[in-house]
């Protein structure tokens, strides 16, 4: 499977895993609100972007923001935060990612 969207990161593989997060279930990329560019993780954005990251405001949680690195489905913030796997391909997402959701999303239902 080849993703139709560009994903940026350090040493990323075909499923959006990067040098920072490369467990088998590390298969999402986040479209950062500040630039609307998909990065494998917050550390990749910090290393590669020319600006500081901004979190998704709660009034934009309905917009597509989280890319499944297995099938290419893009989920809204709300949909991503309410599931543990991709609704398109059923691939499990890393449950630990939600522990640092505050790096990507304004405080909301996950806080």
pLDDT digits (tens, 9 = 90+) for 32-88: 999 999 999 999 999 999 999 999 999 999 999 999 999 999 999 999 999 999 999
Query: What local confidence, expressed as pLDDT, does residue 105 receive?
Result: 94
Q: Do the Cβ atoms of 49 and 33 come closer than 8 Å? A: no
Query: What local confidence, expressed as pLDDT, does residue 107 receive?
Result: 86
Tell me the DSSP string of 25-65. Answer: T--EEEEETTTTEEESSHHHHHHH-SS---PBPGGGTTSEE
Q: Is the pLDDT of residue 92 over 80?
A: yes
Q: Is the pLDDT of residue 2 over 60?
A: no
Please name the residue that has the structure tokens 């139709």: 4
**Does residue 108 or residue 96 have the better pLDDT?**
96
Provide the pLDDT confidence category of residue 1 given band limits of 50, 70 and 90.
Answer: very low
Q: Do the Cβ atoms of 17 and 26 come closer than 8 Å? A: yes
pTM of the full predicted structure?
Answer: 0.90
Q: Is the pLDDT of residue 3 over 70?
A: no
């Amino acid at each position: 499977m080849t993703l139709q969207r560009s994903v940026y990161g350090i040493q990323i593989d075909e499923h959006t895993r990067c040098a920072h997060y490369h467990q088998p279930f590390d298969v999402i990329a986040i479209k950062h609100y500040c630039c609307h560019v998909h990065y494998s993780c917050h550390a990749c954005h910090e290393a590669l972007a020319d600006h500081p990251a901004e979190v998704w405001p709660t009034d934009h949680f309905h917009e597509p923001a989280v890319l499944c690195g297995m099938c290419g489905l893009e989920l809204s913030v709300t949909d991503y935060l309410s599931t543990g796997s991709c609704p398109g391909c059923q691939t499990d997402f890393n449950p630990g990612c939600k522990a640092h959701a505050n790096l990507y999303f304004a405080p909301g239902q996950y806080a």
